[in-house]
Structure 1
């Protein structure tokens, strides 16, 4: 029974882990810059995945014709999208970030139609609408008018590129291990980001990394939120259609808000529970259609 829903479980776990990363990154970003955190998380993730690959004796060979696809995944998703998400939020607000990036599933449906020929059924469209409404209720839309337009534009790029990357993963041949694909894509992103990160790191106080809460947070973000969650997301995309997979992205704001309430004392009202119910309804609707 569980095996029948493996893809859905992988995607739910990945999005939930990203939602939980909000609590940890809030502590770490108080003392180091976003680009430093991105580079450190990729360095730790790369080390973690490489060790796991060696232990499980993965085949690291990639056919030449598939290299451009893997490089594109690393640049579009892990480099551009992640950095645009940090930069856009910095120029606007976390609230706007949550609202605009919630458009990712809709973009995924469009790219899946264009690149994979997937059909956008009425139920899938309804599911995206329900879940998007749920996200808007959770994060609220009252203060969006005061946010920077530039930040909003950058966040839209982040949502667009993550959606494109997720659909490109569906084009990776199934005979490759997703652990290997994830490792190579993160390697590409690390190489791309390193020149920008070096400038920040050389001017920073590296002593802050010796603080237990900082290095502990970096290790968690690198191993669990990056190596683990990226692998789970890619593995889930191998099984579930791209259009449906996007819906599981909505678990991110639900888990993030819930953990913020539990550990950071942030307020959660009735709209959160209504929004969470709408998101769950959207996900269940698409699960029922594919059952």
Structure 2
């Protein structure tokens, strides 16, 4: 009995650590929009900010790539190299750039809600690829999601009337891009390995970001306030590297389903941080829209986990 109690205590402790890691990962990912908006106060543009964030992140991913290469003796085949190249460009570079552009026009709260729609888009893309009909409860849940986005957009259109449509469209395009990446990455990750695939894809995205900056900006564009460098570094550490680690450890302790459920606090965390640090106004319309999006996405995600592969 004592042995069993000790095992239960260890299990509970491990589960609590997993829950804490999942929460911290969700908050870390959610803080990215806040950091981007704060950097924009110093009139830095999206391409420069993205290049700085990726440049600060990439040394870590190069280290992971070197470690993963030693763990996997077999080199990547031509097909896998093309997958890494294409998915790295779509999922990490294009998605991030569109998101950074969109944040110039919409609130951090609306941006996070739109990004949170990715499970609905992966369901639609998977259904198109497999030619499998989407269940009616899922269609109804997706309708609830997009009704919630419409309400949240009404809030932004009133608070930020200039460019709200453009900003929401850019962030939605970012979400589509990330969803394409998720649908395409599953089989590649199974063959290549999660760490190696992520590291290689991030290196590709960093190269694309730096090349874009070099082609469109003079070197003098890097002469930005030190505060921007600090925010870009914080983005790399607290909204990229640490959440990736925390998320993987959370999944190992409490499973992907529970981790995904806890991750739904992300949009709420963004709204709270936007109110606290950016002084973004909270309205009953925005709160109602957020509630609809969260409810719909949770239903879609739960049904997707139950659906046969």
Which of 174, 197, 200 is the matching residue for 2:217?
Answer: 200
Aligned to 2:3: none
Kindly indicate whether residue 154 of structure 2 is the aligned counterpart of residue 137 of structure 1: no
1: CA distance between counterparts of 2:280 and 2:172? 26
Which of 160, 178, 181 is the matching residue for 2:176?
Answer: 160
Secondary structure of 1:223's aligned partner = helix
2: CA distance between counterparts of 1:50 and 1:59? 14
Contact kept? 1:36, 1:201, Cα under 8 Å:
no
Aligned to 2:122: 108
Contact kept? 2:148, 2:290, Cα under 8 Å:
yes
Contact kept? 2:152, 2:290, Cα under 8 Å:
yes
Aligned to 2:37: 26
Query: Following superposition of structure 1 onto structure 2, how do residues 211-290 of structure 1 map, counting pairs within 5 Å?
Result: 211=226, 213-229=227-243, 251-286=265-300, 289=303, 290=305
Unaligned runs of 5+ in 2: 1-10
2: CA distance between counterparts of 1:276 and 1:93? 15
Aligned to 2:28: 17
Contact kept? 1:19, 1:251, Cα under 8 Å:
no
Secondary structure of 2:282's aligned partner = coil
TM-score under structure 1 normalisation? Answer: 0.73
Cα 1:179–1:278 change in 2 (3 A) is same
Contact kept? 1:101, 1:156, Cα under 8 Å:
yes
Q: Deviations over 1:240-273 (max 9, x none)?
A: 69xxx7x998654432211111233332233344
Contact kept? 1:182, 1:230, Cα under 8 Å:
no
Contact kept? 1:99, 1:139, Cα under 8 Å:
no
Contact kept? 1:8, 1:236, Cα under 8 Å:
yes
1: CA distance between counterparts of 2:247 and 2:126? 16
Q: Deviations over 1:88-125 (max 9, x none)?
A: 444x5448756765654432212122346776333433
Contact kept? 1:85, 1:155, Cα under 8 Å:
yes
Q: CA deviation at 1:67?
A: 1.6
Moved more, 226-235 or 105-114: 226-235
Which of 71, 76, 90 is the matching residue for 1:63?
Answer: 76
TM-score under structure 2 normalisation? Answer: 0.70
| Rg larger for | 2
1: CA distance between counterparts of 2:99 and 2:270? 16
Paired positions, count: 284
Aligned to 1:181: 197
